[in-house]
Every structure is written in C-alpha cells, then in structure tokens.
C-alpha cells in the first residue's frame, strides 16, 4: 500500500472513530473536519498520530477543533 493510501485510510479511520465517539454520522464528521481543517491536520500529523490510541486521537482532534472555534 502506498503512503498516500495509508494516510487516506487513517483519515477515514479517524472520521469513523470521531463519529462513533460523538454519536454523529460519518458524513457529518467529514464535513466538520473539512470545515475546520482537521483533515489537513490529520494528514500533516500522520507520522505521529497513527501511532496513538483511538481515545487519544479523538481527544486530540477535539482539542484541535475547539481551538478553531468549534463548540459542538
């Protein structure tokens, strides 16, 4: 699998994890992530983030979103 494919799979995994944790649809989370730049954050941080646990990633993304004005 190429690095680009691994990153895309990771971003998809993060969207689904966040959706499950926040009781949202995957489509709603993808839209939220796009609006607040979280997809780019996940791509840029892939090298470190993909080694972290699910709960840590969800908490980190929540912090990222809150720092950018999301109050959901």
Q: Is the pLDDT of residue 62 over 90?
A: yes
pLDDT of 14 = 98
Give the contacts of 72 (CB within 8 A, at least 6 positions apart): 22, 32, 65
Q: Is the pLDDT of residue 10 over 90?
A: yes
Q: Specify whether the CB–CB gap between 43 and 11 falls below 8 A.
A: yes
Q: What is the pLDDT of residues 30-60, one digit of tens each?
A: 999 999 999 999 999 999 999 999 999 999 9
Q: Specify whether the CB–CB gap between 4 and 36 falls below 8 A.
A: no
Q: Specify whether the CB–CB gap between 38 and 61 falls below 8 A.
A: yes
Round to whole Å and give the CA distance between 51 and 44.
Answer: 14
For all residues of the chain together, what is the average pLDDT? 96
pTM over 0.85: yes
pLDDT of 72 = 78
């Amino acid at each position: 699998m190429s690095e680009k494919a691994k990153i895309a799979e990771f971003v998809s995994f993060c969207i689904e994890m966040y959706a499950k944790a926040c009781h949202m649809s995957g489509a709603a989370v993808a839209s939220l992530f796009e609006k607040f730049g979280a997809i780019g954050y996940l791509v840029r941080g892939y090298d470190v983030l993909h080694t972290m646990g699910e709960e840590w990633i969800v908490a980190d993304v929540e912090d990222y979103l809150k720092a950018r004005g999301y109050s959901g």
